[in-house]
Amino acid sequence: MDKLMDNPWFIKILALLLAFLLYSSVPQPTNKLTEGNTKSDQNTETISDVPVKAYYDTNNLVVSGLPDTVQVTVSGPFSSVQSAKTLKNFEVFVDLSDAKPGSQTVKLQIKDLSSNLKATLEPAFANVSVQSKVTKEFKVDAELGKSMIEDGYAAGDPVVEPNKVKITGAKDVIDRISYVKATPEIRDPLTKDTTREARVRVLDRELNKLEVVVEPETVNVTIPVKSVNKTVPIDIVKKGTLPSGVTIDSIDLDTKEAAISANEDILNTVKSVRVEIDQGQITDDTTLTLPVIIPNGVLRVTPELVKAKIKVKKETSKSISGLLINEQGLPSQYKATFKDPEAGKVDLLVSGSSDTINNLKPDDFKLFIDLSNLNEGDHDVKIQVVGPSNINWKLDKATAKVNISQAGV
C-alpha cells in the first residue's frame, strides 16, 4: 500500500475519481427553475414629481397650462426599474418647437429611458396656451401699512429706486396688469428715515398675482419718517374750594405752552392741555410742581411737569355802617316812605384782601331800590348794591319795606 501511495500515477487517478464523484453529487438546474427566476425579476414602480420640460421658441413665445410635474410608472427588470427610480436619468418633455400661438392639446413624451423599460405618464396630455411674448415697462408704487410707522410719527411719500421695471409675459397677461407694487418688510415700527429692499409684485384688478418675469425683481424703497407734533397752550384748571379767608391773587406757570405728539387725526382735534390746582391745599404763597394732563389719544407731551407759582391774599372783613338806600324809578306824583329800615339806611359787611378792605370808604358803594311799576301801598323791594369788583359783601338786610303813596297827601 505504501508503494501505491508513492506512485504519482496512482495519486492522479485517485484525484480525478474524487472530482467526478463531487461533480455528480451537485444537483443541476432544470428548465422550469430558470423560467421561474426570469418571471420574478420583473418589477413595476411609480415615480412621482418628475419635472416636465418644454421645448419652444422662448425668445418670442410664452407657454402656459403645462403641468410642472407628472407621475411616471415604469416596468421591466428589477435592476433597471430601481436604477430609473433612484437616478431619474430620463426626461419628460413636450415638443412645441413648431407651435403657433393659440390653444392646443399636446402629448407628453419621455426620452433617455432604458430600452428594456416601459413607461406610462399621468397625465399623458396637457392643454396648453401658446402666446406671443411681450415686454413692457411699468412704474412701481411703494405700498406701506399703518403698522409700519410708530404711533406719533408720519411717513412722507416713499421713494422707489429704480421706479420702473420691465415685465415680460404672455400678451393677455400683460394686458391684465393693474398694479405693480413693492412692499418693504418692516419688523419694528419706524421712527426715522429708512431704506429697505422690496420684491416687486405684479397684480391684476382683483389683486391676483400674475405669472410674469420682472426685471429687476427687487427695488429699494426709502421711507421718510417725521414726528407728528404741535404746540398748544397749557390751561390752568382750579379744583376744590379755597380755605376761608384766602383768595388767589395770581398763578404763573414757568412754561405756558407744551409740545404734543399724536396721530394726525387726533392732533387736529386737540387745542390745549392742562394742569389742575387743588385750591383746598392752598393757604399761603407757594410753588407747585404739576403734571401736564393730556387728552386721550395724545402719545407724548413736552414738558411733562411744570411749576406753578401761586400768590394768595388773606381776606379780612369789616362793616360799613349807615349806608343810605336811594330810590329809583318812582314817578313824581308818588312818594316812598321807608318802614323797614325806618331811616332808609343799612349796614354792609365787606370782605376781601386786607389791602383793598382797609382802603374802602362808604362812598365806594351805591345802594338803591327800584320802584318802577309799583302801585300805591306797601312793598318789599330788593336792595341792590354797586361796588368794587374785587371784594365780596353782604347786607344786614336784603330787602326794604316801603310804602308808596300820593305825593302831597
The predicted-structure confidence for 209-258, as pLDDT tens digits, reads as follows 998 999 999 999 999 988 888 899 999 999 998 888 788 889 999 999 99
Closest by CA position to 160, among listed 204, 89, 216: 216
Instruction: Specify the pLDDT at position 101.
Output: 87
- Count, in order, helices (H) and strands (E) of the chain: 7, 31
Q: What is the CATH number of domain 229-314?
A: 2.170.120.40
Start-end of H helices in 41-88:
78-87
Instruction: Specify the pLDDT at position 9.
Output: 64
Instruction: Specify the pLDDT at position 22.
Output: 60
> Residue 306 in contact with residue 253, Cβ under 8 Å?
yes
Distance, CA of 129 to CA of 171 (rounded, Å): 12
Q: What does pTM read for this prediction?
A: 0.47
For 316-406, the fitting CATH number among 1.10.10.10, 2.170.120.30, 3.40.720.10, 2.30.30.140 is 2.170.120.30
Q: What is the pLDDT along the chain (409 residues), one digit of tens a residue?
A: 555 555 666 666 766 666 666 655 544 444 443 333 444 578 999 999 999 999 998 888 888 889 999 999 999 999 999 999 999 999 999 999 888 888 899 999 999 999 999 999 999 999 998 988 899 999 999 998 878 888 778 888 999 999 999 999 988 899 999 999 999 988 888 889 999 999 999 999 999 999 899 999 999 999 998 888 889 999 999 999 888 878 888 999 999 999 998 888 888 899 999 999 999 989 889 999 999 999 998 988 999 999 999 998 887 889 999 999 999 999 989 999 999 998 999 999 998 878 888 889 999 999 999 999 899 999 999 999 999 988 889 999 999 999 999 987 6
Distance, CA of 396 to CA of 379 (rounded, Å): 19
* Domain range annotation of the chain: 41-132, 140-227, 229-314, 316-406
Instruction: Specify the pLDDT at position 32.
Output: 40
Instruction: Specify the pLDDT at position 187.
Output: 85
> Residue 168 in contact with residue 133, Cβ under 8 Å?
yes
Domains 41-132 and 316-406 share a fold: yes
CATH T-level assignment (fold) for domain 41-132: RNA Polymerase Alpha Subunit; Chain A, domain 2 (2.170.120)
Residue 384 grid cell? 341792590
Instruction: Specify the pLDDT at position 35.
Output: 39
Instruction: Specify the pLDDT at position 262.
Output: 86
Phi, psi of 296 (to 5 degrees): -60, 135
CATH T-level assignment (fold) for domain 140-227: RNA Polymerase Alpha Subunit; Chain A, domain 2 (2.170.120)
Distance, CA of 347 to CA of 354 (rounded, Å): 19
